[in-house]
Amino acid sequence: MFSPSRSSTRVSRDNDTAVITLSMDSTCDLCEGEETPLCVKYCACGARKVSR
Amino acid sequence: MKPHGYAGRILRVDLTEGRITEEPTIRYAERYVGGRGVNARILFDELSPSVKPLDPENMLLFGVGPLVGTLSPFCSRVSIDTKSPFTGGVGSANCGGHLGAEMKYAGYDNLVVTGRAENPVYLWLSDGEAELVDAGGLWGKTTWDTERAIRSSRNDNEVRVIGIGPAGENQVKSACIISDRAKAAGGSGVGAVMGSKNLKAVATRGILPVTVAEPERFIEAVDSARRKIEQFPKAKLYREDGYYGVESVYGSPAWEAGFRPVRNGQDDYWDPEKIKRVAGDTIKPYRKKILACFGCPVGCMPWMVVPDGPYKVEGEGWWNNSSNSFCTRVDCDDPEAAIKAHLLTNQLGLDGDNASVVIGWAFECYEKGLLTEEDTDGLELTWGNHDAVISLLEKLAYREGFGGFLADGVKAAAERLGGGSDEFAVHIKGQDSVDGIRVSKGWGFGVVTSPAAGRHLRGAIHSFSPERFLSYDSVPWMVYMQEQYKAILDMTGTCLYNNGLLSWETEASGHAAHHLAELTSSLTGMNLDVERFTRMGLQVHNLEKAFNTLHGGFTRRDDYPPKRYWEEPVKSGPYAGERIDHEKWEHMLDEYYGLHGWDLETGWQTRETLVSLGLTDVADRLEAAGRLP
């Protein structure tokens, strides 16, 4: 299912400046068990990256 | 249990009574999928032809399709439908952004708004709850300030807002509805209808889930669509420069294909030196970022900054039509003034396409001596006077002085002024039409026959190759197919502008229908192959056509181009002398009506066609009104 309530990350945009912010909460485990975090794999713009 | 792919509920709001009720989406979804499809059915069923567009009884419907709010690419669109103040027929507009997904997460697929609130209100949607909130403090504010104020009062910077500016409040016919400060649901006077209801905005925030019928199959369909988009040769360029930046550089055939009429359509060719000053490559330095709607892998909307000077401004938006509306149409070649004008229309809640037509007409009246500075509040309406364009946008939105004279559209203004000014009042079925139609025949035929009246978002065929766009061959067939495909896009909530990236190897964007059928089937569990899906598209198109016949009284004579484009040829450039061949237009209409199974003489639908589409009840209503051949 698609549900913001289950997401550990959030993208928001300041409409006065066009600054885009990605935030993640403490529940994010980078999709443990997956080769790539799903939000990175399916980021429509290809903007999300993992830096370890 | 709610159906897969849907929020599950349609919200009905009676503003007069302050009453809010709900009904299940599934009641309509199985036959009309969602978005524009559901809107069209409800509008046809429930609105009496005796209701006038700005009466409280008119309906204003917002709809998102099942693919909105999922991983499906390009799926952000909201369809807004009503009875149009311009035409008295169907009014239909559409915008992207983030509101559609948020509306679904808040628990609603469609909103059906009727009545008129005693005082200004906005509709708040959140996690399955709906509430009408006093908007007295918002009335008079621009769309940008309205969003700021609602977000501030909710203490939440992620609230999504769609609403009207001063133009909608003042029921200016070219008023649109703006989402996310920049995404315009333009045309059909939808903003004027919203203003007539004292409804300032819809604001939404939600975290409710959208479930998937067959998750693995859906993900496979998403991956397949994304692979196709990645293979598009210009995918990287589009991401970096946006659609306008890529396709509107100097030398692009788009400048010569007649899409951008010059000086109110006196010509379809613009001085190359002027083009250079506003072409995509010249605009580039003002573009600081490319922004994307929800779920869009491309992004086409630029963040524009004019850093200083008299046109200092910053905000989202500059689109293909901007160089038509604020440049060629009024012969203005100052890029900073044009960017200012575009962003001003977003703030005021004006549709630039509609507004620039009546402004261009006023300039031509001034040129011909039909208007003087005494009539125009002292404004000198000479071609290229961009300051006058900006002043008129403000006056129009507030119905101030000469702006009030223009505020009911070009047809009404020409009727009031007289003096032969109707000869160059460019409207189709009563709606101001910005599109050039003499050079590109598929584009023109689609614009003129559109149920939304003079707009390019139905059957218009987009081609940049002269051997295609100059030809009349196959135009009726291509328009007929595009109409069905566009309906599928609007039923599912998919963006037209970038969907060509799902079918880039052909000239027929409808070839992407199999992607949408597979995405929607796996998401919802409905068995939608391309054949069934396109038939649904035909049903929706026919519902709108029937609405137009019943409410607008349109016939074959309403499917002809505006007088100027019917009689005057293009004056200069590579396509000088190009004009609409009257005999070929008649043949195209015959062929087009024949493909649809409509009556050739009247242009009306036949009982046989409507019954074959499962629309017997529609045939019955048309027959009762004496509108079946």
Closest residue of A to B294, CA-based?
A44
Task: Report yes or no on B245 lying in a domain.
Answer: yes
Q: Is the CB of residue B471 less than 8 Å away from at least one CB of chain A? A: no
Q: Do A1 and B211 touch (CB under 8 A)?
A: yes
Mark whether B129 and B253 lie in a shared domain.
Answer: no
Write out residues in chain B with pLDDT < 50, as ranges: none
Q: Is the CB of residue A27 less than 8 Å away from at least one CB of chain B? A: no
Domain interval for residue B94: 9-205
Task: Report yes or no on B4 lying in a domain.
Answer: no
Number of domains in chain B: 3
A contacts of B299 (beta carbons < 8 Å): 45
Last residue of a domain, which of B386, B412, B432? B432
**Tell me, what's the pLDDT at B462?**
79
Mark whether B199 and B227 lie in a shared domain.
Answer: no
Mark whether B458 and B588 lie in a shared domain.
Answer: yes
Tens-place pLDDT, residues B503-555: 777 767 777 889 999 999 999 999 999 999 999 999 999 999 999 999 999 99
Name B446's Cβ contacts closer than 8 Å, sequence gap at least 6: B456, B458, B459, B460, B461, B479, B482, B483
Phi-psi category of B603—alpha, beta or left, where left has phi over 0 and alpha has psi -120 to 50? Answer: left
Task: Report yes or no on B305 lying in a domain.
Answer: yes
Q: Do A2 and B212 touch (CB under 8 A)?
A: yes
Task: Report yes or no on B2 lying in a domain.
Answer: no
Give the pLDDT band of residue A52 (cuts 50, 70, 90).
low
Mark whether B376 and B338 lie in a shared domain.
Answer: yes
Mark whether B415 and B510 lie in a shared domain.
Answer: no
B203: closest CA of chain A, how far (Å):
15
Tens-place pLDDT, residues B427-438: 999 999 999 999
Mark whether B418 and B480 lie in a shared domain.
Answer: no
Tens-place pLDDT, residues A8-46: 998 889 999 999 998 889 999 999 999 899 999 988 888
Mark whether B589 and B447 lie in a shared domain.
Answer: yes
Mark whether B419 and B465 lie in a shared domain.
Answer: no
Nearest 10 degrees: CA dihedral of B253, B259, B264, B268? 40
* Paired tokens of B450: 């559109």
Closest residue of B to A17, CA-based?
B315
CATH number (domain holding residue B293): 1.10.569.10
Mark whether B427 and B448 lie in a shared domain.
Answer: no
Q: Do A42 and B71 touch (CB under 8 A)?
A: yes
Q: Which of B103, B146, B289, B346 to mutate to test the interface with A (most CBs of A within 10 A)?
A: B289
Mark whether B228 and B340 lie in a shared domain.
Answer: yes
Q: Which of A13, A18, A44 sits opposite B296 (nearest CB)?
A: A44
Mark whether B255 and B387 lie in a shared domain.
Answer: yes
3-state secondary structure B2-43: CCCCCCCEEEEEECCCCEEEEEECHHHHHHHCCHHHHHHHHH
Mark whether B447 and B505 lie in a shared domain.
Answer: yes
3 state DSSP class of B196: helix
Q: Do B180 and A1 touch (CB under 8 A)?
A: no
**Tell me, what's the pLDDT at B259?**
86
DSSP H or E stretch at residue B152: helix B143-154
Q: How many residues does chain B have?
A: 629
ipTM of the complex in this document: 0.95
Q: Give helix B582-596 / helix B475-492 axis angle, nearest 10°.
A: 50
**Tell me, what's the pLDDT at B297?**
87
Q: Do A18 and B157 touch (CB under 8 A)?
A: no
